[in-house]
Every structure is written in structure tokens, then in C-alpha cells.
Structure 1
Amino acid sequence: MVSTVILYRAPTTVADVDTIADWLAGRVDATVTVRDRFLDGHRTGDLPERFAEARVTSPYDRDTGNTMLGTIRYEERALEDPDREGGVLYDGVTVQRALNTALPADERGLDTLHVPLLDRAIGTWGDHDGRWHKRVTVLGQPALVSVPGLYEAPAKPEEYYREKQRHSLLSGDTPPREVLENRVEGEFLIEDDPRTTDALKGYVLQAAHYLETGEPFCDRRTCRLFNAHYHEDLIEAQLREPEFCDEHARLYEAD
């Protein structure tokens, strides 16, 4: 039984972990606490090399890793200064194993759930189609929650990608938020979206639910435990009423 949930801040993102913790504390039968960035408090000497080994080098290549000295030096700098990290996809399972090793021995049991919010993009390999897929979460211990994954993992409306490509061809950069929102039909989240904190609440609850019950997700689109593959479904599940399906409302509806 999970008795303690520890959330870790992602200081380079707009995610308000304290607000998420307050929301979670009203819904789980566990003590919920917040700590600063996981990679500041829990670190092993080989962590830069482990991150280098977890790098996805091609969307269609199952093998990962680039452990050349320059890459390891990059990962060292990214650990010290997370503002310098970006544009890299990591194998979420390999990262999870590395961070599990970094946990203190007395906090590694399944009665204490660690949920680091990460400013890195993580993915898992799809055996069904032979390619990597970005993810918001990798459940387990610790449970990884990727803030970039919230924006990048679920598919956006097709018009979003067409408009982004068109703008890039004309100006060479990414179109501003207001351009995308005005020209693209459908709802979606983009980097530093003000709805980030609210949207992440359900993903953090998914981590606690999985460790407590062994059930990964709910199959109902109107529940925060739903694993959305499209942004419109993400918004339906995380940002609209009701928060939960009838089954999970009995477990997690706030008093």
C-alpha cells in the first residue's frame, strides 16, 4: 500500500508542483510531499553516462545510446544546468532504471512513490509498429512524468502540423501561439501552456493509481485516468467535467 507520495519540481517548466500536490492530497490515502528537482537531490556518479545510453538516435532504431565523450559532457552540463537541455528524446524505461538506482535505499520500497516531473522528452519503443513513441508518463518506481511529453506526445490536429510547416518555410521559425490558435481548428496544448498544471494532475494520479492497484489506465475518455493519444482526448479527460468516470469517482472524487 502506498503511504507516501513524493513529487519533484521541474523548475524550468511552468508546472506548479505544489498545486498538483495539494490536489492529489485530497484524493489519495497517502501523505503527499514536494521536493526540489529530482536530479539535484538524487544523483549517482554514472548518471550522465546513463542518460547518454538512453538517447534515442533514430525514430526507427530500437538500439539507443551515444556514449562518446562529447555526449557525456553534454549530459553532465544538462544535469548541472537544466536550461541547457532540450531537443533530445530518451528511452523512458532506461531513464527510469537509472533514477531508481539513484533513490535512497530506505525510500525504494513500493510504500513510497516517487514522481519526478521531468523537463526532458521520454519515449517507449512500439513493437507493433517498429518505432519510438513519445510519452507523458512511464509508470512504475519512480513514475516519470514528462512535461514536454504533455505537449509533444499526443497527436495534434493535422492542420496544426501543416500550419507549422508552412510558417517554418516562410519565416524559418516556429509560429507564435496566437497564430496556431487562430488558424488551427481543434484544441491542443503547446509549450508553456497555462493549462499545464491542471492537465498534469491526472497523470500524477495515474502514477499513484498504478502502484496501488496495478491498473495502468481507464478506457473512458471522460476520466483523468484515461491515456490520451490525441490532444482533443487529453483536454476532454484532464480539463473538462466530470473529472472521473463513475467507477473512479468513487475512489478519487474529492470530499
Structure 2
Amino acid sequence: MVDTVVLYRAPSTVADVEAVRDWLEPRIDAAVSVRGRFLDAHRTDDLAERFAEARVPSPYDRETGNTMLGTIRYEERALENPEREGGVLYDGVQVQRALNSALPADERRLETLHVPVLDRAIGTWGDHDGRWHKRVNVLGQPALVSVPGLYEAPAKPEAYYKEKQRHALLSGDAPPREVLENQVEGDFLIEDDPRTTDALYGYALQAVHYLETGEAFCDREECRLFNAHYHEDLFDAQLREPAFCDDHAALYATD
């Protein structure tokens, strides 16, 4: 049983982790606290190298890692200056193992769940289609929650990709993402979206729910425990009423 949940800030993002705590704590039977950035609080000497080993070089290549000196130096700089990191996808399972190893031994037990909110993009390999998929979260200990994943992992409306292709045909280049986001109608989150924190509530709860019940996700789109693969579904699950399906409302609704 989870007695304590520790959330970690991602100061280079707009995520308000204190607000996540305030939403989460009344819904679970555990104390919830907030600490600074996980990669500062629990940094180990080999953490930069572990991130280098977890880098995904190609979306269709199962093998990961680039431990050349220049890459490790990049990861060291990214640890020191997280606002300079970007454009890299990491194997979420490898990152999870690295961060688990970085935890103090007396805090690795499942009674204390650690939830780092990260400014890194993470993914998992899909055996069914032979490619990497970006993820918002990777459940377990610690449970990773990726802010970039919130924007990038769920598929955007079809019109977004059609406009991207049209622009590429006309100009030969991909348009800036901001241009696409301003030209395409539909429900999707953009980087630094003011709805980021509200959308993260359910992902934090998913981390607790998984350790408590062994159930990874809910299969109902109107529930915050639903694992959305499309932005439209993410809006239904995280940003619209009802907050939960009937079964999970009995566990987590507060009114």
C-alpha cells in the first residue's frame, strides 16, 4: 500500500506541481509532498551516462544509446541547464531504471511512490509495429511523467498532419510548429499550454492507482485513468467532465 507520494518539480516547464499535489491528496489515502527537481535531488555520478545510454537514435531501431564523449558532455550540460535540453527521445524504461537506482535505498520500497515530473521526452518500444512511441508516463517506481510527452505523444487532429505535409510540398521545409498550431482547428495541447497542469492531474493519479491495484489504465475515455492516444481523447479524459467513470468515481471523486 502506498503511504507517501513524492512529486518532483519540473522548473523548466509550466507544470505547477504544487497544484497537482493539492488535487491528488484529497483523493488518495496517502500523504503527498513536493520536492525540487528529481535530477537535482537524486543525481548520481553516472546519471549523464545513463541518459546517454537511453537515447533513441532512430524511431525504427530497437537499439538505444550513444555514449560517445560528446554525447555524455551534452547530457551533463542538460542536467545542469535543463532549459537547454530538447529534441531528444529517451527510452522511458531505461530512464526509470536509472532513476530508481538513484533513489536512496530506504526510499525505493513501494510504500513511498516517487513521481518525477520531467522535462524530457520519453518513449517505449512497440513490438507490434517495430517502432518507438512517445509516452506521457511510464508507470512503476519511480513513475515518470513527461511534460513534453503531454504535448507530443498523443496524435493530433488529422488536419494538423495534412497542413504539415502541404506546407512541406510548397516550401520544401516543415513549418514551425507554432504556425501549424495557429492554422489548424481542433483540440490539442501546445508547448507551455496553460492547461498543462490540469491535464497532468490524471497522470499523477494513474501512478498511484497502478501501484495500489495493478491496473494500469481505465478503458473508458471519459475517465482520468484512460490512456489517451489522441489529443481529442486526452481532452475528454483529462479536461472535460465527468472526471471519472462510475467505477473510478467511487474510488477517487471528492464530491
Fold in common (TM above 0.5): yes
Larger mean CA deviation between 116-125 and 186-195 belongs to 186-195
Q: C-alpha separation between the residues in 2 aligned to 1:37 and 1:210?
A: 23
Q: C-alpha separation between the residues in 1 aligned to 2:18 and 2:100?
A: 23
Superposed, which structure 2 residues align to 1:101-112 within 5 Å?
101-112=101-112
- Letter in structure 1 aligned against 2:59: P
Q: C-alpha separation between the residues in 2 aligned to 1:92 and 1:71?
A: 18
Alignment correspondent of 1:161 = 161
Cα deviation digits, residues 89-125 of structure 1 (max 9, x gap): 0000000000000001111100000000000000000
Cα deviation digits, residues 54-94 of structure 1 (max 9, x gap): 00011111000000000000000000110111000000000
Q: C-alpha separation between the residues in 1 aligned to 2:19 and 2:201?
A: 9
Tell me if the contact between 1:151 and 1:189 (Cα under 8 Å) persists in the aligned partners. yes
- How big is the shift at 1:172? 6.3
Larger mean CA deviation between 160-169 and 229-238 belongs to 160-169
Q: C-alpha separation between the residues in 2 aligned to 1:243 and 1:209?
A: 15
* 3-state SS of paired residue (1:149): helix
- How big is the shift at 1:43? 1.1
* 3-state SS of paired residue (1:10): coil
- How big is the shift at 1:163? 2.4
Q: C-alpha separation between the residues in 2 aligned to 1:172 and 1:243?
A: 37
Query: Is 1:244 paired with 2:212?
Result: no
Q: C-alpha separation between the residues in 1 aligned to 2:165 and 2:20?
A: 34
TM (normalized to structure 2)? Answer: 0.96
Alignment correspondent of 1:83 = 83
Q: C-alpha separation between the residues in 1 aligned to 2:177 and 2:146?
A: 23
> Which of 174, 177, 198 is the equivalent residue of 2:176?
174
- How big is the shift at 1:167? 4.8
Alignment correspondent of 2:229 = 229
- Letter in structure 1 aligned against 2:15: A
Alignment correspondent of 1:39 = 39
Q: Structure 1, unaligned stretches of length 5 or more?
A: none
Superposed, which structure 2 residues align to 1:190-209 within 5 Å?
190-209=190-209
Number of aligned positions between the proteins: 253
Query: Is 1:27 paired with 2:27?
Result: yes
Moved >6 Å (runs of 4+):
none
Alignment correspondent of 1:125 = 125
Query: Is 1:60 paired with 2:60?
Result: yes
Alignment correspondent of 2:184 = 184
- Letter in structure 2 aligned against 1:244: F
Superposed, which structure 2 residues align to 1:84-99 within 5 Å?
84-99=84-99
- Letter in structure 2 aligned against 1:49: E
- Letter in structure 2 aligned against 1:150: L
Cα deviation digits, residues 122-141 of structure 1 (max 9, x gap): 00000000000000000000
Tell me if the contact between 1:217 and 1:227 (Cα under 8 Å) persists in the aligned partners. yes
Q: C-alpha separation between the residues in 2 aligned to 1:141 and 1:80?
A: 24
* 3-state SS of paired residue (1:198): helix
- Letter in structure 2 aligned against 1:176: E
**How much identity, in percent, do the aligned residues show?**
78
Query: Is 1:14 paired with 2:8?
Result: no
CA 1:135 to 1:220, structure 2 compared with 1: closer, same or farther past 3 Å? Answer: same
Q: C-alpha separation between the residues in 2 aligned to 1:212 and 1:58?
A: 35
Q: C-alpha separation between the residues in 2 aligned to 1:17 and 1:201?
A: 9
- Letter in structure 2 aligned against 1:89: L
Q: C-alpha separation between the residues in 1 aligned to 2:36 and 2:177?
A: 33
TM-align CA RMSD: 1.4
Cα deviation digits, residues 6-38 of structure 1 (max 9, x gap): 000000101100001000011011000000100
Alignment correspondent of 2:253 = 253
Tell me if the contact between 1:164 and 1:174 (Cα under 8 Å) persists in the aligned partners. no
Q: C-alpha separation between the residues in 1 aligned to 2:52 and 2:210?
A: 28
Tell me if the contact between 1:9 and 1:17 (Cα under 8 Å) persists in the aligned partners. yes
